[in-house]
Amino acid sequence: MCGEPRISRRRWVVERTFGSLKRWFGEYANWKDCRRYIQST
């Protein structure tokens, strides 16, 4: 990432933060779906 001069450091931090947030929300949604699937069976 340090070799990319086009992306500013602040934007890189923001994108990395939002990326981790989206991944966390995705895992949480998958966990809820698994719980719903287990309860429905």
- pLDDT at residue 1 above 60? no
Euclidean distance between CA atoms 33 and 13, whole angstroms: 30
pLDDT of residue 3: 59
Q: Which residues contact 7 (CB under 8 A, 6 or more apart)?
A: 1, 15
Q: What is the pLDDT of residues 25-37, one digit of tens each?
A: 888 888 888 888 8
pLDDT at 36: 85
Residue with tokens 């890189």: 12
How far apart are the C-alpha atoms of 7 and 38, rounded to whole Å?
44
